[in-house]
Structure 1
Amino acid sequence: MKNNLIAASALALLTFATTSQADEPLQIGISAEPYPPFTYTSSDGEWTGFEVELGLAFCEAMERECEIKPTGWSGIIPSLKAGRIDMIMNSMSITEARQRVIDFSAPYYFTPGAYVAAKDMTLNPPEDLDGKVLGVQSATTNATYTRRALRDSGASVRLYDQAEQVNRDLLSGRLDVILADEIAMNELVERDAADDFEIKGVAPHHAAYGDGVGVGLRQDDDALQESLNDAIEDVFEDGTCSRLSNKYFDTDICT
């Protein structure tokens, strides 16, 4: 009888712990460095943007409470693996290298890299990059593509920690050209400050760009992965993803 009571108590504690853990809010990791229109802070200081709203829609479909947790881009994968966040939702491409250390949900959009330079510059990349100063955000698929495909282009490459640093240096004339996600670059060239700049070309399909953008997850977090994939399907089917995409991009980027 005593052993039965001990076993019953242990089972109850395990059930309580599992239930409590399931009830805890999921932490959605986004880069602490704004990446408009995907993630940025509004005038009231709250995080918003396409991926913030879409991530919360995924959580609603999973019937889970979620919290947005800004994390430095360079440390976002270590934070996931250490359990400080539960999901990475920050335009992270599904690549072979990343899949060695984390898992992903199904993709929810795809974007190639785009070159942006001054309108009056004659540029047909990658042929005309020789002698140009090219800015790229480090630890991104565009940085990987630059390293693999543009080594012999003759460009002088500068790597930056934050996407907005790259944008600012282009607009201020410290860079000749930048390579970044096409969707974000469409937003950049619409800014008043970027009136003299335009997209000059798009990088070709390359293994560096992976299989689209997905939600980063811990390896073996199978239950969350399955639940999230179901939620992505629901949010696509009910039109939420398309609605948010048109809100932020005036086009439907949902895969």
Structure 2
Amino acid sequence: MTLVTRFAAAAIMVVAAVGGASAKEWKTVRIGTEGAYPPFNYVENNELKGFDIDIAKALCAKMKVECTFVAQDWDGIIPALLAGKYDAIAASMSITDERKKQIDFSKKYYKTPATFAVQKDSKITDTSPAALKGKVLGAQGSTIHSNYLEDVYAKAGAEVKLYGKQDEANLDLANGRLDAILADKVVLLEWLDSKDGACCKFTGAEYTDPKYFGEGVGVGIRKDDADLVAMFNKAIDEILADGTYKTINAKYFPFSVY
């Protein structure tokens, strides 16, 4: 599914050299996103919406380029970027050392902690690896949260189940097939405040260890496109400076996610 949003009647030519290579002429920038991670990116009335989408639109406006948005399943989002399906990823992708082996990133455009959710009648309050030994824990696969569960909690004796989408993990928790799920706190807050999430609650600590959870969320870009990284970085600085970021943030959250 491809969804298009147009932002400029004219495009600019980037003529500076970045990292010793000639910059490309960026008239359009194709942006990949998941479309299944509310409130950051989701599909409503056949249109991509959410914080990631609004931020990407604002960045494209600053760069004076035409933006095309492409919905892509999370598991294939980096391979599709590398294959040239789109030029950048704006999909709440955390900047981690492991991902930086494959792609480059802009500077961060938000950072939020991870936390656990459990059913409301759960007695789990201690979410340390030792305390969750023998428990069944869930997360969306190929994420910083699944990596953390597999590397830390599975080795401590927990059973880890992974899902293609966050909603699938949420559903299994609600139906009692999981003892707890680990996810981004803001994403879980959106669900817990909904009718479907009325079953459940936050518990335990917040997790921000950069080794697993990275430096924040950035725009993912191919390593060959250093000029595009520079363009996004400049645009991020501009929306932070002129109040655009604050306006978008306030549309979704009662607190700063930067």
The aligned amino acid for 1:130 is K
Displacement, 1:21?
Answer: 5.5
Aligned to 2:232: 228
Pick the aligned partner of 1:38 from 22, 25, 40: 40
The aligned amino acid for 1:150 is Y
- Structure 1 position 78 matched with structure 2 position 79: yes
After TM superposition, the structure 1 = structure 2 runs for residues 168-187 of structure 1, keeping only pairs within 5 Å, are 168-187=171-190
Aligned to 2:170: 167
Preserved CA contact (<8 Å) 1:134 1:176 = yes
Aligned to 1:9: none
Please say which of residues 139-148 and 238-247 is displaced more in the overlay. Answer: 238-247
Question: TM-score normalized by structure 1?
Answer: 0.87
Residues 46 and 204 from structure 1, CA distance in 2 versus in 1: closer, same or farther, beyond 3 angstroms? closer
State which structure, 1 or 2, has the greater radius of gyration over its C-alpha atoms.
1
Identity across the alignment (%) = 37
Aligned to 2:97: 96
Deviations 1:93-115 (A, max 9, x none): 11111111100000111122110
- Structure 1 position 211 matched with structure 2 position 215: yes
- 2: distance between equivalents of 1:115 and 1:20? 43
Pick the aligned partner of 1:125 from 117, 124, 127: 127
What residue ranges of structure 1 are gaps of 5+ in the alignment?
Answer: 1-14
Q: Which is richer in strand?
A: 2
- 2: distance between equivalents of 1:140 and 1:193? 23
What residue ranges of structure 2 are gaps of 5+ in the alignment?
Answer: 1-14, 16-21
- 2: distance between equivalents of 1:36 and 1:95? 22
- 2: distance between equivalents of 1:224 and 1:204? 28
The aligned amino acid for 2:116 is Y
- 2: distance between equivalents of 1:217 and 1:81? 9
Displacement, 1:59?
Answer: 0.3
- 1: distance between equivalents of 2:105 and 2:38? 23
- Structure 1 position 27 matched with structure 2 position 30: yes
Displacement, 1:20?
Answer: 10
Q: How many residues align?
A: 235
Q: Which is richer in helix?
A: 1
RMSD: 1.9
Please say which of residues 129-138 and 92-101 is displaced more in the overlay. Answer: 129-138
